[in-house]
Protein backbone atom coordinates (compact mmCIF):
# COMPACT_ATOMS: atom_id res chain seq x y z
CA UNK A 1 0.00 0.00 0.00
CA UNK A 2 1.36 3.44 -0.93
CA UNK A 3 1.79 5.98 1.86
CA UNK A 4 2.05 9.01 -0.42
CA UNK A 5 -1.67 10.03 -0.33
CA UNK A 6 -1.69 9.76 3.46
CA UNK A 7 1.36 11.90 4.24
CA UNK A 8 -0.04 15.25 3.02
CA UNK A 9 -3.13 14.78 5.17
CA UNK A 10 -1.06 13.92 8.22
CA UNK A 11 1.18 16.91 7.63
CA UNK A 12 -1.81 19.27 7.32
CA UNK A 13 -3.33 17.86 10.53
CA UNK A 14 -0.06 18.38 12.37
CA UNK A 15 0.37 21.96 11.17
CA UNK A 16 -3.25 23.16 11.47
CA UNK A 17 -3.14 23.93 15.23
CA UNK A 18 -0.07 26.09 14.66
CA UNK A 19 -1.70 27.98 11.80
CA UNK A 20 -4.89 28.58 13.77
CA UNK A 21 -2.97 29.81 16.78
CA UNK A 22 -1.06 32.35 14.69
CA UNK A 23 -3.96 34.07 12.91
CA UNK A 24 -7.64 34.87 13.24
CA UNK A 25 -10.27 35.02 10.49
CA UNK A 26 -10.76 38.49 8.99
CA UNK A 27 -13.79 40.46 10.06
CA UNK A 28 -15.61 43.29 8.32
CA UNK A 29 -18.46 45.65 9.10
CA UNK A 30 -20.10 48.75 7.69
CA UNK A 31 -20.63 51.46 10.29
CA UNK A 32 -22.23 54.86 10.65
CA UNK A 33 -20.24 57.79 11.98
CA UNK A 34 -20.92 58.43 15.67
CA UNK A 35 -19.56 60.89 18.27
CA UNK A 36 -16.13 60.29 19.80
CA UNK A 37 -15.44 60.57 23.53
CA UNK A 38 -11.80 61.03 24.52
CA UNK A 39 -10.75 60.71 28.16
CA UNK A 40 -7.31 61.99 29.18
CA UNK A 41 -6.40 60.16 32.35
CA UNK A 42 -3.62 58.63 34.44
CA UNK A 43 -3.23 55.97 37.10
CA UNK A 44 -1.12 58.49 39.02
CA UNK A 45 -4.02 60.95 39.35
CA UNK A 46 -6.22 60.53 42.43
CA UNK A 47 -9.21 62.26 40.81
CA UNK A 48 -9.13 60.09 37.68
CA UNK A 49 -10.72 56.77 38.82
CA UNK A 50 -14.30 58.17 38.77
CA UNK A 51 -13.77 59.30 35.17
CA UNK A 52 -12.29 55.90 34.28
CA UNK A 53 -15.38 54.24 35.75
CA UNK A 54 -17.63 56.63 33.81
CA UNK A 55 -15.91 55.77 30.52
CA UNK A 56 -16.37 52.05 31.31
CA UNK A 57 -20.09 52.75 31.80
CA UNK A 58 -20.33 53.66 28.10
CA UNK A 59 -19.84 49.98 27.19
CA UNK A 60 -23.49 49.41 26.26
CA UNK A 61 -23.64 52.53 24.08
CA UNK A 62 -20.34 51.58 22.46
CA UNK A 63 -21.53 48.04 21.74
CA UNK A 64 -24.68 49.53 20.18
CA UNK A 65 -22.47 51.70 17.90
CA UNK A 66 -23.78 54.92 19.43
CA UNK A 67 -20.41 56.31 20.57
CA UNK A 68 -16.69 55.58 20.26
CA UNK A 69 -15.09 55.94 23.72
CA UNK A 70 -11.28 56.11 23.96
CA UNK A 71 -8.99 56.50 26.97
CA UNK A 72 -5.67 58.29 26.40
CA UNK A 73 -3.34 57.71 29.35
CA UNK A 74 -0.89 60.62 29.65
CA UNK A 75 2.63 60.40 31.06
CA UNK A 76 3.02 63.70 32.95
CA UNK A 77 1.89 62.10 36.23
CA UNK A 78 4.48 59.31 36.06
CA UNK A 79 7.07 61.24 38.10
CA UNK A 80 4.98 61.00 41.30
CA UNK A 81 6.14 57.49 42.18
CA UNK A 82 4.01 55.36 39.87
CA UNK A 83 4.48 54.85 36.15
CA UNK A 84 1.18 54.24 34.41
CA UNK A 85 1.80 51.18 32.18
CA UNK A 86 -0.64 52.53 29.59
CA UNK A 87 0.79 56.05 29.50
CA UNK A 88 2.38 57.58 26.43
CA UNK A 89 4.19 60.81 25.71
CA UNK A 90 2.35 60.88 22.39
CA UNK A 91 -0.97 61.04 24.26
CA UNK A 92 0.28 63.96 26.37
CA UNK A 93 1.47 65.73 23.21
CA UNK A 94 -1.93 65.21 21.59
CA UNK A 95 -3.72 66.72 24.58
CA UNK A 96 -1.39 69.74 24.53
CA UNK A 97 -1.90 70.20 20.79
CA UNK A 98 -5.69 70.23 21.24
CA UNK A 99 -5.37 72.79 24.05
CA UNK A 100 -3.18 75.05 21.89
CA UNK A 101 -5.70 74.83 19.06
CA UNK A 102 -8.28 76.29 21.46
CA UNK A 103 -5.92 79.13 22.40
CA UNK A 104 -4.86 77.68 25.76
CA UNK A 105 -1.83 75.97 27.20
CA UNK A 106 -3.06 74.20 30.33
CA UNK A 107 -3.81 70.47 30.30
CA UNK A 108 -5.41 68.54 33.13
CA UNK A 109 -6.74 65.15 34.15
CA UNK A 110 -9.31 63.86 34.04
CA UNK A 111 -10.32 65.71 30.90
CA UNK A 112 -13.15 64.56 28.68
CA UNK A 113 -13.51 65.72 25.09
CA UNK A 114 -16.75 65.05 23.24
CA UNK A 115 -16.38 65.16 19.47
CA UNK A 116 -13.23 67.23 19.91
CA UNK A 117 -14.59 69.82 22.37
CA UNK A 118 -13.77 70.10 26.06
CA UNK A 119 -16.73 68.56 27.93
CA UNK A 120 -17.07 69.09 31.67
CA UNK A 121 -20.64 67.87 32.00
CA UNK A 122 -19.78 64.15 31.87
CA UNK A 123 -20.88 63.60 35.47
CA UNK A 124 -24.50 64.33 34.51
CA UNK A 125 -26.21 61.47 32.68
CA UNK A 126 -28.84 63.85 31.27
CA UNK A 127 -26.18 66.21 29.94
CA UNK A 128 -24.29 63.32 28.35
CA UNK A 129 -27.43 62.05 26.59
CA UNK A 130 -28.29 65.53 25.36
CA UNK A 131 -24.80 66.24 24.05
CA UNK A 132 -24.46 62.85 22.34
CA UNK A 133 -27.75 63.45 20.56
CA UNK A 134 -26.60 66.91 19.51
CA UNK A 135 -23.26 65.66 18.20
CA UNK A 136 -24.70 62.65 16.35
CA UNK A 137 -24.89 63.13 12.57
CA UNK A 138 -27.71 61.93 10.39
CA UNK A 139 -27.53 58.10 10.10
CA UNK A 140 -25.34 57.03 7.21
CA UNK A 141 -23.68 53.64 6.88
CA UNK A 142 -20.65 54.95 5.05
CA UNK A 143 -17.61 53.50 6.85
CA UNK A 144 -16.30 50.04 5.97
CA UNK A 145 -13.75 48.51 8.32
CA UNK A 146 -11.92 45.23 7.76
CA UNK A 147 -9.51 43.62 10.23
CA UNK A 148 -7.27 40.64 9.60
CA UNK A 149 -4.90 39.41 12.30
CA UNK A 150 -1.80 37.63 11.04
CA UNK A 151 0.53 36.65 13.86
CA UNK A 152 1.75 39.89 15.46
CA UNK A 153 0.48 42.07 12.60
CA UNK A 154 -3.02 43.50 12.31
CA UNK A 155 -4.03 44.38 8.76
CA UNK A 156 -6.48 47.27 8.75
CA UNK A 157 -8.54 48.24 5.71
CA UNK A 158 -10.68 51.37 6.12
CA UNK A 159 -12.84 52.87 3.36
CA UNK A 160 -15.08 55.92 3.52
CA UNK A 161 -15.38 59.53 2.37
CA UNK A 162 -14.18 62.53 4.37
CA UNK A 163 -14.97 66.24 4.17
CA UNK A 164 -12.28 68.38 2.58
CA UNK A 165 -11.09 69.78 5.92
CA UNK A 166 -10.78 66.37 7.57
CA UNK A 167 -8.13 63.69 7.99
CA UNK A 168 -8.26 60.16 9.36
CA UNK A 169 -6.58 58.58 12.37
CA UNK A 170 -6.57 54.91 13.35
CA UNK A 171 -6.58 53.91 17.02
CA UNK A 172 -5.97 50.40 18.34
CA UNK A 173 -7.61 50.09 21.76
CA UNK A 174 -7.75 47.37 24.41
CA UNK A 175 -10.66 46.53 26.69
CA UNK A 176 -11.02 45.19 30.24
CA UNK A 177 -7.68 46.12 31.76
CA UNK A 178 -6.75 46.39 35.42
CA UNK A 179 -3.77 47.25 37.59
CA UNK A 180 -2.90 47.04 41.26
CA UNK A 181 -1.28 50.36 42.12
CA UNK A 182 1.65 50.34 44.54
CA UNK A 183 2.82 53.96 44.36
CA UNK A 184 1.73 57.52 43.69
CA UNK A 185 -1.59 59.11 44.62
CA UNK A 186 -3.58 55.90 44.09
CA UNK A 187 -1.25 53.58 46.02
CA UNK A 188 -3.04 50.52 47.37
CA UNK A 189 -5.94 50.69 44.92
CA UNK A 190 -6.85 48.32 42.12
CA UNK A 191 -8.00 50.29 39.08
CA UNK A 192 -10.07 49.09 36.14
CA UNK A 193 -9.86 50.57 32.65
CA UNK A 194 -11.61 50.16 29.32
CA UNK A 195 -11.15 51.39 25.74
CA UNK A 196 -7.47 52.11 26.44
CA UNK A 197 -5.67 53.47 23.37
CA UNK A 198 -2.58 51.37 22.74
CA UNK A 199 -1.47 53.18 19.61
CA UNK A 200 -2.74 56.03 17.46
CA UNK A 201 -1.49 56.47 13.92
CA UNK A 202 -2.10 59.22 11.41
CA UNK A 203 -3.03 61.66 10.09
CA UNK A 204 -4.02 60.14 6.76
CA UNK A 205 -5.49 62.35 4.06
CA UNK A 206 -8.27 61.56 1.56
CA UNK A 207 -7.81 62.08 -2.16
CA UNK A 208 -8.98 65.18 -4.01
CA UNK A 209 -12.53 63.79 -4.23
CA UNK A 210 -12.66 63.03 -0.51
CA UNK A 211 -12.28 59.26 -0.97
CA UNK A 212 -10.45 57.66 1.93
CA UNK A 213 -9.01 54.21 1.26
CA UNK A 214 -6.45 53.08 3.82
CA UNK A 215 -4.66 49.74 4.02
CA UNK A 216 -2.20 49.56 6.89
CA UNK A 217 -0.22 46.88 8.71
CA UNK A 218 0.02 47.60 12.45
CA UNK A 219 2.52 45.71 14.60
CA UNK A 220 0.94 44.56 17.87
CA UNK A 221 2.75 44.24 21.17
CA UNK A 222 2.76 40.59 22.33
CA UNK A 223 1.41 41.66 25.75
CA UNK A 224 -1.83 43.09 24.31
CA UNK A 225 -4.77 40.71 24.79
CA UNK A 226 -5.98 39.83 21.32
CA UNK A 227 -9.41 38.86 22.66
CA UNK A 228 -9.99 42.44 23.83
CA UNK A 229 -8.57 44.51 20.98
CA UNK A 230 -10.51 46.79 18.67
CA UNK A 231 -9.85 49.44 16.05
CA UNK A 232 -11.43 52.88 15.68
CA UNK A 233 -11.29 55.10 12.61
CA UNK A 234 -11.45 58.76 13.62
CA UNK A 235 -12.61 61.64 11.45
CA UNK A 236 -10.56 64.62 12.66
CA UNK A 237 -9.93 68.27 11.86
CA UNK A 238 -6.96 68.61 9.54
CA UNK A 239 -5.51 71.58 11.46
CA UNK A 240 -6.05 70.68 15.12
CA UNK A 241 -6.37 66.89 14.96
CA UNK A 242 -9.55 67.07 17.06
CA UNK A 243 -11.57 63.87 16.57
CA UNK A 244 -15.16 64.75 15.67
CA UNK A 245 -16.64 61.41 14.62
CA UNK A 246 -15.58 57.78 14.71
CA UNK A 247 -16.41 54.21 13.78
CA UNK A 248 -15.11 51.12 15.56
CA UNK A 249 -14.81 47.37 15.13
CA UNK A 250 -13.60 44.71 17.56
CA UNK A 251 -11.47 41.78 16.47
CA UNK A 252 -13.82 38.96 15.54
CA UNK A 253 -11.77 36.08 16.90
CA UNK A 254 -8.91 35.78 19.34
CA UNK A 255 -5.80 33.63 18.85
CA UNK A 256 -5.81 32.82 22.59
CA UNK A 257 -9.19 31.11 22.24
CA UNK A 258 -8.16 29.33 19.06
CA UNK A 259 -5.00 28.12 20.80
CA UNK A 260 -7.08 26.74 23.67
CA UNK A 261 -9.32 24.89 21.25
CA UNK A 262 -6.44 23.36 19.30
CA UNK A 263 -4.47 22.41 22.42
CA UNK A 264 -7.48 20.48 23.75
CA UNK A 265 -7.90 18.52 20.52
CA UNK A 266 -7.15 14.79 20.78
CA UNK A 267 -3.59 13.89 19.81
CA UNK A 268 -2.76 10.98 17.56
Task: Write the pLDDT tens digit of every residue in 69-112.
Answer: 999 999 999 998 899 999 999 999 999 999 999 998 899 999 99
Across 115-144, average pLDDT = 89
Q: Does the pLDDT value for residue 263 go beyond 50? A: no
Residue 31 contacts residue 247 (beta carbons within 8 Å): yes
Instruction: Report yes or no on whether pTM surpasses 0.75.
Output: yes
Residue 41 contacts residue 72 (beta carbons within 8 Å): yes
Q: Does the pLDDT value for residue 16 go beyond 90? A: no
What pLDDT was estimated at residue 222?
A: 94
Beta carbons within 8 Å of 134's beta carbon, 6+ residues apart: none
Amino acid sequence: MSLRPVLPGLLAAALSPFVLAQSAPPCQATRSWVPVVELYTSQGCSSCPPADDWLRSLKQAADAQQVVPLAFHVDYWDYLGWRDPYSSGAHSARQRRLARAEGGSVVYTPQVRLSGDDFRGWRSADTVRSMLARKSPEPAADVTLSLDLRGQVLKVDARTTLPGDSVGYVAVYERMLGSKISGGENAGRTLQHDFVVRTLIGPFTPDAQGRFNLMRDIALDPSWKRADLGVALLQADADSGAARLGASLALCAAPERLSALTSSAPRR
